[in-house]
């Protein structure tokens, strides 16, 4: 019986065509919105394709979390190896996550043992470095050490870069490509690496349109047709735009897909995205709702009821205001005038509890309008929580504020 349940779950229908394409380590066939940075990297590393000698290049890629640093450098490394091979030049690109390899010794020993299949036991770091350089020289290989989160290496990073600086002319076989966050660059690496790099490439944060393009491309790789609608992609892009972090959005799509399989839901719904966001983000604490003013709670109640009635991810301010007036009558509360109501909405947006999306009115019509959406909790859960607060406040007081 148990084995049948397991087999059914393992072999049952799924929304995924290839869920691995949403994993953090996956490097996609294309990299939207990073063409300029890839071209700049290519120009800087061009000297590695010189057949008249080996010349080291040292480059830093700096950016906020989720700006594509890791995927860009790994994508570049793959392309560099292929381009070099077409010209009969041996380039090896070796990626190291410094969360796992936190010392120069750990990196060198892994290089020697895992990459060149030579035991490192009994040798010092200096001896291992000499052995690696001799192997590279003998086989005429240009090695690019890619060091992600390089600040974790501390002074060992300078030691790795220094090796190429003291090599004889035309015999510097080890280049470095480091990646780090802006804050780590400013606090740890900027001063010691000054004058030692050939280039520093800053990764700009993604805007909402760029995030949408990324999520659309990734969803086409990961999911079967019609599983992820355009509405869902815009919703995920809007959420991720608050932090400008593409990784958050990709993770939300993955978690929503897993939930869709678990509950047999097709296609992915706004509520599944909201639930996924709760796992990815943890900004909204339970005490936030209880600390809201009465009018803010009433506006939230109106929004949740309207979204639940429409079965939609967003709705207009006018619709929410209509629903708000009905709730005020229900609880015998004096309603706010529309201008004051809008200020209450803006306060909730500032708190990050609801989102406001501005869009064009429609084809052939001029102007733009705002639509409201929930950003943190699924409609059903939000509706339940807000309802409990309303009932509690009504039972404790004769009137709301």
Query: Residue 10's pLDDT is what?
Result: 74
Closest by CA position to 374, among listed 346, 354, 349, 345: 354
Q: Which residue has the higher pLDDT, 70 or 313?
A: 70
Measured in degrees and rounded to the nearest 5, phi and psi for residue 372 equal -105, 145
Using CB atoms within 10 A of its CB, is residue 225 exposed (0-12), middle (13-18) or buried (19+)? exposed
Is the pLDDT at 213 greater than 90? The verdict is yes
Q: What is the pLDDT of residues 327-386, one digit of tens each?
A: 999 999 999 999 999 999 988 887 768 888 765 455 555 556 788 887 656 677 778 778
Query: Residue 399's pLDDT is what?
Result: 52
Domains in the chain: ranges and CATH: 34-202 (3.40.50.300), 207-280 (1.10.8.60), 287-396 (1.10.10.10)
Q: What is the pLDDT of residues 200-209, one digit of tens each?
A: 999 999 999 9
Closest by CA position to 98, among listed 46, 160, 53: 160
Closest by CA position to 368, among listed 358, 382, 355: 358
Is the pLDDT at 235 greater than 90? The verdict is yes
Q: What is the mean pLDDT of residues 153-160?
A: 87
Closest by CA position to 69, among listed 162, 166, 184: 184
Closest by CA position to 179, among listed 144, 140, 147: 147
Q: Examine residue 167 and say whether the peptide bond preceding it is cis (omega within 30 degrees of 0).
A: no
Average pLDDT, the chain: 87
Is the pLDDT at 287 greater than 60? The verdict is no
Closest by CA position to 290, among listed 344, 353, 341: 353
105-109, 186-190, 197-201, 233-237, range with the lowest pLDDT = 186-190
Q: Which residue has the higher pLDDT, 190 or 397?
A: 190
């Amino acid at each position: 019986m148990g084995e049948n349940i397991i087999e059914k779950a393992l072999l049952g229908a799924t929304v995924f065509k290839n869920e691995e394409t949403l994993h953090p380590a996956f490097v996609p066939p294309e990299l939207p919105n990073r063409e300029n940075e890839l071209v700049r990297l290519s120009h800087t590393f061009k000297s590695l394709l010189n057949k008249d000698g080996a010349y080291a290049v040292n480059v830093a890629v700096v950016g906020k979390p989720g700006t594509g640093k890791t995927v860009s450098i790994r994508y570049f490394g793959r392309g560099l190896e292929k381009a070099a091979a077409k010209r009969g030049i041996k380039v090896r690109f070796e990626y190291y996550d410094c969360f796992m390899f936190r010392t120069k010794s750990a990196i060198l020993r892994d290089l020697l043992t895992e990459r060149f299949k030579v035991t490192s036991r009994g040798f010092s770091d200096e001896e291992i470095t000499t052995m690696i350089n001799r192997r590279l020289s003998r086989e005429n290989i240009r090695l690019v050490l890619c060091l992600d989160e390089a600040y974790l290496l501390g002074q060992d990073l300078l030691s790795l870069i220094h090796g190429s600086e003291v090599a004889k002319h035309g015999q510097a076989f080890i280049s470095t490509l480091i990646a780090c966050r802006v804050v780590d660059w400013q606090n740890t690496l900027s001063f010691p690496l000054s004058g030692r790099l050939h280039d520093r490439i800053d990764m700009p944060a993604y805007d909402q349109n760029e995030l949408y393009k990324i999520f659309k491309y990734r969803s086409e790789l990961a999911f079967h047709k019609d599983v992820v609608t355009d509405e869902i992609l815009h919703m995920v892009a809007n959420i991720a735009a608050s932090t400008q972090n593409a990784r958050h959005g990709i993770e939300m799509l993955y978690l929503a897909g897993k939930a869709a399989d678990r509950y047999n839901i097709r296609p992915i719904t706004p509520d599944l995205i909201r639930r996924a966001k709760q796992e990815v983000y943890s900004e909204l604490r339970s005490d936030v709702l209880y600390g809201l003013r009465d009018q803010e709670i009433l506006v939230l109640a109106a929004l949740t009821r309207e979204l639940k009635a429409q079965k939609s991810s967003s709705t207009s301010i006018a619709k929410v205001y209509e629903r708000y007036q009905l709730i005020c009558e229900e609880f015998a509360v004096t309603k706010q005038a529309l201008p004051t109501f809008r200020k209450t909405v803006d306060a909730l947006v500032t708190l990050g509890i609801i989102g406001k999306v501005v869009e064009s009115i429609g084809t052939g019509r001029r102007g733009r309008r705002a639509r409201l959406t929930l950003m943190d909790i699924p409609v059903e859960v939000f509706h339940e929580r807000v309802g409990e607060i309303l009932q509690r406040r009504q039972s404790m007081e004769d009137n709301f504020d």
